[in-house]
Chains A and B, each alone.
Chain A
Amino acid sequence: MKNASKMIPCYSADTAGVCSAMYELGGMTVTHDASGCNSTYSTHDEPRWYDIRSDIFISALTEMDAIMGTDEKLISDTVKAAEDLHPKFITLCGSPMPMMTGTDFDAIAEEVERRSGIRTFAMHTNGTHSYIDGASEAMLAVVTEFVNECPKADGIGVNILGMTPLDFKWRGTSDLMKKWLGESGLEYISCLAMGSTLDEIKNAASAKVNLVVSYAGMASAEYMKDKFGIPYVCGVPFGIRAAESLADTIKKAAESGSSVLLAERSTDTCDTVIIGESINAVFLSSALYQELGISSSVICPLPTETRLLNSCDAEYLAEEDIEKALKELSPKTVIADPLYKSVIPKGTRLIGLPQFAFSGRCFEKHMPDLIYTDIKEYFK
């Protein structure tokens, strides 16, 4: 069974990806789902919930609503809440039950927008897909709606695309990214969607390069390349040397106008396996090679594209496939979220790298700072 798991968790779902991407932008996000189902997101997918208030709500769908098709309740409740809270925009997300009943979120969003006078987005989530898909759709909606042509910044302006706490340590990462950009002679324009306001994001077309830090940012990057001619570079500035190298790649991309997807990786036999989101894992692999001479391959259990991976990398979604692959590869070291422990072969060393989209709050206190920071000690 490819969809059965004995022990390891599943990743955050598409609805969580939408909520996470929209969290800091001043909008109101409504998931059409049962009462209480928002506690999953607010407890396990959202580290900002206690400290930063955001208009993220649930519609409290009941079985009778589903049977009777009472879309009107969702519409009027949403409009009523918007009257009280005055969000900058509204986002509607689907969940499994509305998918079964064929709820037309595009039509509902249109009606909410007509009644409230507030721009309303329909997200095509249903709770069965990955947070990457949800965050990707949400980010694309934001850039499509709010980013318009504007004068370029004087220097090499950079947008960060695809950053949410589901993939990146919430506290500290934005500051480290800004520090890295500043010290590399690059100019921070905006970050979608962690640490930037909607107004900052509206100015995103002033950038010369987009930095895609997770696959959730890829669709937005492609859109901005087509619409504004902004090239993108995939990468995460792990470590010091690798971060400097990534900054050089951005500068070259600004000059050439060409996008860069791949990282400098070892072609040697790999004795280390990294499990994680594709761009994060690939660029960690690159950083380990550049900083420590470690050759590593990647197992990506999340949506991505083959063009982002090397031939030694693999895409496996199921617990049993990951377990089997690790057994066959028999690596000396696995770098992965600590909750992968149960599928790591005996005798293999596990270097825990907690990811909120996988283990939620379990290891939040132990998340390391790896951005523009010496990583040698952590991975030696």
Chain B
Amino acid sequence: MNNNYADPPYVKISDADASGLFSSGLEYNAPARGMWNIVHMGMLIPDAHQIYVCAQGCLRGVILTAAEMFELDRLSWISVSEEDMFNGHLESDIVDGTADILRRLDRKPPVVLLFLSCIHMFAGVDFENALNELSEMFPDITFIDCYMTPTMRQTVSPVVKMNAQLYAPLKKREKDPKAIAIIGCDRPTDETSELIGMIRHAGYSIKDITACSSFDEYLSIAESSLNIFYIPTAKLAGEELEERFGTKALYLPACFDSDELKDGYRQLCGALDIPMPDLSEQESRASKALSDARAVIGDTEIAIDFTAVTRPFGLAKLLCEHGFNVTSVIADTAGEETSAFEWLKANRPDLMIYAAANVNMLNFPERPHSKTLAVGQKAAHYFNTDNFVNIVMNGGYYGFSGIEKLAALMTEAYRTPKDRRTLISHKGFGCASCLDS
């Protein structure tokens, strides 16, 4: 391997600093398309219509995201020309264009997610005023300010903000003491997980935007008496709902550490006012599933990427503890995983960390690789392997049952190669795709 890069794409964990793994530089975009973007997320609100106001180059990605998932009739756009930025029409075009689109729509949506872009923020556009004007013109429509502002990702990440805005149309309602919401997910949580089991067993109903089939059902999320989130990017959503409706937000991280999981369940039980159940059977099953998987997978090298699970270092630690040969993690940051990171640094000092978008990763798939089992699409691409677990953002799995399922998926991936090109080209894991037709 070349060790003389001006901009190295990897670092050995023993040499890495959790507070900053890689320096910023030019970026490459790997052809792994499973991660959701703001368009996929916006489609979760039933009957909502998305309108994007931005330059042609920025519009293209969002329009074709909708087209590929057969939802083009739920998205419209207003293109910002070069002249618009200097002729004083930047703000009026937002209002006029949106009004024009809404007048031409056959059916008026209950909610419009109106997206402005980096250039609007940079120009100091008065978004609130635009929304007020539109609300006066269309009083039956709720307009939500949304942001396609990737240049601002280091201050307010577009995904974090979008996650919060997904719940902005909710209006205060009388609380249902026996209703709980799981917020911030892009797919339902596995029904067989102990998380769902505990909530249901305690007699609570579960509200989840991913399961809403109508706008009314979506609005009922506001009735929840407790909002649970386990994806870190949903933190702002939880905080804002707590502020607006006084609904407690409980963060139960989708982690792979037994003690942390049990600590989360204890918090849940406290919030639900139920006794902590004995989870030793679930814990044992997870452990056995890992041992069974290890027996099949053996010493095969394993690469994990951050798009598959929200805690790649935590998963690496768990697998190492169970004898797996985890050699690589693809992640740009250690995020909230300092503890797992430090454990790996001390116990697996040769583990390599790869930068997901470094330009020198461009030709990495063509390098010679040992047979690798990948967890995640980017890992599959970079390590040039068809033996991979095809999940994004934990795949809806959670807790001990999630570990058990993941172990089974790893075994299956080890035994049965997948059609990598087709699967990782599919945009928005779990969404409908024209690539399938």
Interface on A for B, CB 8 Å cutoff? 1, 3-7, 9-16, 30, 33-45, 49-50, 53, 55, 57-66, 73, 77-78, 80-81, 83-85, 95-97, 99-101, 126-130, 320, 339, 342, 359-363
Contacts and interface: CB of A to CB of B under 8 A. Distances in A.
Contacts of A36: 29, 150, 153
B25 A128 contact: no
Contacts of A342: 72-73
A63 B118 contact: yes
9 contacts: A1-B97, A3-B79, A4-B97, A15-B57, A57-B26, A57-B27, A63-B118, A81-B6, A128-B55
Interface string B337-370: 0000000000000000000010110110010000
Nearest to B85: A100
A43 B61 contact: yes
A40 B80 CA distance: 17
Interface size band for B: 35 or more
A81 B26 contact: yes
Nearest to B30: A42
A16 B27 contact: no
A129 to B, nearest CB: 7
Nearest to B51: A4
Interface in B131-182: 149-155
Contact of B78 (A3, A38, A50, A128): A3
B12 interface: no
Contacts of A85: 359-360, 362
A42 B33 CA distance: 10
A53 B359 CA distance: 11
A357 B253 CA distance: 42
Interface of B: 5-7, 24-29, 31, 33, 54-61, 63-64, 67-68, 72-73, 76-82, 84-85, 93, 96-98, 100-101, 104-105, 117-119, 121-123, 149-155, 357, 359-360, 362-363, 366, 421, 425, 427, 434-435
Contacts of A43: 31, 33, 61, 64, 427
A1 B64 contact: no
B420 to A, nearest CB: 10
A232 B177 CA distance: 77
Contacts of B29: 36, 38-39, 41-42, 58
A127 B6 contact: no
Contacts of A62: 151-154
Contacts of B93: 1, 3
Given A44-B61, A81-B6, A127-B58, 11 more contacts: A39-B61, A44-B60, A55-B359, A57-B26, A59-B26, A63-B121, A66-B122, A81-B26, A96-B119, A342-B72, A359-B64
Nearest to B425: A50
Contacts of B84: 3
Given A66-B151, A339-B67, A362-B434, A6 B117 contact: no
Contacts of B121: 63
Contacts of A7: 72-73, 76
Given A13-B57, A80-B6, A4 B359 contact: no
Contacts of A59: 26-27
A129 B7 CA distance: 33
B76 A4 contact: yes
A46 B360 CA distance: 20
Nearest to B99: A1
Contact of A4 (B7, B27, B100, B363): B100
A100 B154 contact: no
Contacts of B104: 6, 320
A235 B427 CA distance: 36
Contacts of B64: 9, 40, 43-44, 359-362
Nearest to B360: A84
A43 B60 CA distance: 10
A100 B58 contact: no
Nearest to A42: B29
A81 B73 contact: no
A93 B34 CA distance: 27
Given A6-B105, A81-B25, A12 B118 contact: no
With most chain B CB atoms within 10 A of its CB, the pick from A36, A55, A64 is A36
Given A10-B77, A360-B64, A127 B27 contact: no
Closest 3 CB pairs of A and B: A127-B57, A40-B61, A13-B57
Contacts of A42: 29, 31
A44 B104 CA distance: 27
Given A4-B97, A57-B27, A63-B118, A95 B5 contact: no
Nearest to A36: B150
A6 B76 contact: yes
Contact of A10 (B25, B59, B97, B150): B59
